Amino acid sequence: MPDPEPMSSGAGQRLGAPETLGISTLDPGHRPPAMPPGRHVTIRVRMLDDTEELFDISQKASGKMLFDLVCSHMNLIEGDYFGLEFQNHQKMMVWLDHIKPIIKQLRRPKHTTLRFTVKFFPPDHAQLLEELTRYLFALQIKQDLSCGRLTCNDSSAALMVSHIIQSEIGDFEESQCRSHLLNNNYIPDQMPLIDKIMEFHSKNIGLTPAESDYQLLEVARRLEMYGIRLHPAKDREGTRLSLAVAHTGHFVLCFLFSEYGHTRINAFNWSKVRKLSFKRKRFLIKLRPDLNSSYQDTLEFLMASRDCCKIFWKICVEYHAFFRLFEEPKPKPKPVLFTRGSSFRFSGRTQKQVIDYVRESEFKKIPFESRVQHNSRLSPLPSPRHHEVVDSPARRHWKESVLVSAEDPSVSRITRASPSHQRNGVVSNSPHLSASPGHSHGMVNGQKSLDLCSHSPDGRQPSPLTSPLLNDACSVRTDDEDDVRRKRFPTDRAYFIAKELLTTERTYLKDLEVVTVSFQSAVGQDEATPESLKNTILSTFEPLHKFHTGFLREVEQRLALWEGRSNAHIKGDYQRIGDVMLKNLQGLKPLTTNLNKQSEVLLELEKACKASRKLEGLCRDFELQKVCYIPLNVFILRPLHRLIHYKQILERLCKHYPATHVDFRDCRAALADVSEVVEQLQGSLIKMENFQKLLELKKDLIGVDNLVAPGREFIRLGCLSKLSGKGLQQRMFFLFNDVILYTSRGMTPTNQFKVHGQLPLHGMTIRESEDEWGVPHAFTLVGQRQSVVVAASSLTEMEKWMEDIKMAIEMAKTSNGPSSDLLTTNLTDNKCPEDSSVEAESEDDTTSPHTSLERPAPHRGNTMVHVCWHRNTSVSMVDFSIAVENQLSGNLLRKFKNSNGWQKLWVVFTNFSLFFYKSHQDDYPLASLPLLGYSVTIPSESENIHKDYVFKLHFKSHVYYFRSESEYTFERWMEVIRSATVPSSRARVLNSKEPHPH
């Protein structure tokens, strides 16, 4: 039976939603939002080489759809530095807003020409990682020089022109150079400087066009007016000046206007600026108080109109967000009644996100092939429709060497198989940019996009902004591309062990930032949080975060050397990791005190939440955020978990290396160091894991007041069917060392489980009773006051439950544990008469008193309790302990059962689940797949998966294939996933069931 059609909802809504727990939130079949219907309009865009391109798009499409189409058309990954500029009806130049529909911005789109230009000038051109991007920046500098916007002295101007002509006509030849300069003006007053330009040009012999562009940007970026766009204004005294945002992204600048040009008179660093605002024609800069400064707290400038003020204010907002923020700011909630001020915000990736993405993307390794020596380089952009546009020789060369005509599908298919052409989109000459189905999908700002021609069944056009995680078709990568990439890297097993250290350290550092950044930002600023708690968290986690940031940097550098990406000629000495681990683990020893304080943080946070209902609500709200993808308390214990991972990695290295290997001694010494620390903290970890689990279960239950009690230990939770007068009914059972609780899940606003009864373990007996009741896998719990007949979903589940319950009964005989008289609501005794139906029980849930809240509040719906409920399975404390040891991160290729291509994902395995990201820089997962109940196997021959290192996950009709990069990583993924999908070995369970120290 095919997979059912999932409900249409956003990724954020579906992540963790109860109804999707049986399947992955990555399932195919979620169609992208269609392009808005309506009349198409032809938009004219002038490129940086002054050629024009025509794009057909719906009038109701957003500005970002058009911009992404332009970037995709150019195969431009770092498109975030650019923008589309146009003259509005008031004759002012404005940027196309990415959020607003085109129809609301362009009054006469057919008669408006948009200019594709550089919007954000980075302080260092080395931050531009793509050669194509630097080429476009070079064209922008050429334009700015030509129109006199980029002012400088004669020497700098001549030097820049020499690099431009080196790029265009090649090495210096006197007569050719002079003739070229006489026929082409690059600066306003060029004639007096021709000899100086030729002198500089003669020194550029041998420079390629790419190197010339680089040198041009190197000169330009040092100029005061580089990237400066002036906005006329007046100060309070009426003095004419201009305002600008500097290309460094750190300043708001004031320039004094005079007959000699503009002279900078003031610069206000972002750290000094408290607020930028405008009121009618007045632009206001509010500064932070500074006793040592003579500036006023608020600086006021008068501009020509309110619109001028608003335009400049918007530019400031975007510059600040792009250069200063780590991620795109979240939209503010819309007010219900009325608005105050502008709701404009920056939309798009920040510079940090762009750099991180391109560094991780293998597309950046593709050379830009539009260079034509000894010829004028014009646009590398193939025009969709050539209406009165001249096609130059350079342009033809670009199309012939890099692009394949859309009119030749057979050639296009050949091109798709070549890694060097993977990024090159195909644009047709038809009015609606239609392409053949075989054409590859282009890139939109570094993200895979759907061809705009791909119509959905209802005839509408899908959006090019579809997330690749939610649509398999738009994230296909070729197999050849992956094979070429794989051959470039070392094959030594030690390398892949070291790479596991790198990938898991990246995830671990992100997990630390959930506490040090996200949690402190959400809760730490609130007055409800005690100062002692703030100080404890800060003093505990900040030193750890600082240490691991440095450690990760060293591991990244070592792996780069090992892979040959840096100093490729150096071999041997850098093909090891033990020295890095030994040095850093010795540096971690002084932080053992911080590691010991994890339990203190956990206890103090719980104590503070008990004392403050507001703080409890803040913590609950934080847990509902996407960044908190697992329970908050697990993040707090992560540093203790990480030590175990270091120990495992070093054990693998020591087992792999012969005693004579150069890395063996360091690895063995590092293993001794980390083993010593782990042994010191082991008792604390076991105790805190139990405490954390009790706290987590308390949030999932209604009807229990003192679940977290001294001496109480969690043993197992899971689904069993309880036999009552109405037959077998699904119930959730919780086994502790002194009592068994059974609950049901009603359709409540809180997603919690209501306690219906409790069975004290003291004096209890258990017997198998399948024959007695005629129910498969049934057993009876005989208590002092009542007996309960339950049935498991399988023989294995029955054996696990019976074994754990027998062990717990034995523990209860000798334990001085907590009293089994739990304070439960709506229960006059420990029996639930006739055990009414789930629907009837749920009616009481919203009216019954709650343990800590007066009214129902939102609650995480994707906890392990909910997964066990939906998968009809169980999990034990031993399984949780094993899960702590089995955590893994890294890139995997994923394929659906009926799809052809493989999609690259960053995957984190933790807490019995796979969490899927686009890249390791993402702050939260876009989807998750709980693995309890799944099986992991190797594909059979009949499945036609003719690739190495592939494993298969399947649950009922849901099937997913994953590819890893090496034999070692394949083994590791199989190992950790089996820990969540295969029952724990009986011997390990028995050996692990020892009382926790208190």
3-state secondary structure of 452: coil
3-state secondary structure of 701: strand
**Could you tell me the maximum CA-CA distance found in the chain, to the nearest angstrom?**
109
Q: Could you tell me the pLDDT band of residue 809, with boundaries at 50, 70 and 90? A: very high
Question: Are 117 and 48 in contact, with CB atoms under 8 Å apart?
Answer: yes
pLDDT: which is higher, 26 or 441: 26
pLDDT digits (tens, 9 = 90+) for 25-76: 444 443 434 567 778 888 999 999 888 999 888 888 888 899 989 998 888 8
| Nearest-10 crossing angle of helices 877-885, 967-981 | 170
Report the alpha-carbon distance of residue 906 to residue 910 in Å, rounded. 13
Mean pLDDT value of segment 763-770: 87
Report the alpha-carbon distance of residue 276 to residue 231 in Å, rounded. 15
- Least confident segment among 155-169, 248-262, 349-363, 890-904: 248-262
Mean pLDDT value of segment 802-829: 70
Torsion angle of C-alpha atoms 836, 841, 847, 849, degrees rounded to 10:
80
Among the listed residues 68, 75, 70, 78, the one whose alpha carbon sits nearest the alpha carbon of residue 355: 78
Report the alpha-carbon distance of residue 208 to residue 204 in Å, rounded. 9
- Least confident segment among 103-107, 251-255, 709-713, 978-982: 251-255
Q: Which two tokens stand for residue 513?
A: 């930032």
Q: Which residues contact 340 (CB under 8 A, 6 or more apart)?
A: none
Provide the residue type at 51 as one letter.
T
pLDDT at 605 over 80: yes
pLDDT at 338: 46
pLDDT digits (tens, 9 = 90+) for 348-386: 788 878 887 776 664 444 455 544 443 333 333 333 333
Question: Are 986 and 993 in contact, with CB atoms under 8 Å apart?
Answer: no
Report the alpha-carbon distance of residue 129 to residue 488 in Å, rounded. 20
pLDDT at 148 over 80: yes
pLDDT: which is higher, 362 or 519: 519
- Least confident segment among 234-238, 303-307, 361-365, 674-678: 361-365
Q: Which two tokens stand for residue 921?
A: 């820089």
Question: Are 433 and 56 in contact, with CB atoms under 8 Å apart?
Answer: yes
Mean pLDDT value of segment 716-741: 87
Sheet bearing 273-279, strands edge to edge: 261-269, 251-258, 240-245, 231-234, 298-302, 282-287, 273-279
Mode of pairing for the β-strands spanning 82-87 and 93-95:
antiparallel
Say how many CA atoms lie within 13 Å of 667 toward its Cβ.
24
Question: Are 804 and 821 in contact, with CB atoms under 8 Å apart?
Answer: no
Q: 């600008």: which residue's tokens?
A: 244
- Least confident segment among 316-320, 669-673, 926-930, 947-951: 316-320
Q: Could you tell me the pLDDT band of residue 987, with boundaries at 50, 70 and 90? A: very low
pLDDT: which is higher, 126 or 148: 148
pLDDT at 82: 94
Report the alpha-carbon distance of residue 10 to residue 30 in Å, rounded. 9
Element housing 486 (H / E): helix 479-487
Q: What is the DSSP string of 646-657?
A: HHHHHHHHHHHS
Q: What is the DSSP letter of 126?
A: G
pLDDT at 335 over 90: no
Mean pLDDT value of segment 739-746: 86
Report the alpha-carbon distance of residue 939 to residue 937 in Å, rounded. 6
Q: Could you tell me the pLDDT band of residue 961, with boundaries at 50, 70 and 90? A: very high
pLDDT at 566 over 60: no
Report the alpha-carbon distance of residue 208 to residue 214 in Å, rounded. 10
pLDDT at 217: 92
Q: Which residues contact 227 (CB under 8 A, 6 or more apart)?
A: 118, 121, 246, 247
pLDDT digits (tens, 9 = 90+) for 106-125: 888 888 899 999 999 988 88
Mean pLDDT value of segment 971-993: 66
pLDDT at 186 over 90: yes
- Least confident segment among 126-130, 135-139, 162-166: 126-130
Q: From start to end of 843-926, where are the E strands?
A: 874-876, 888-896, 903-910, 913-917
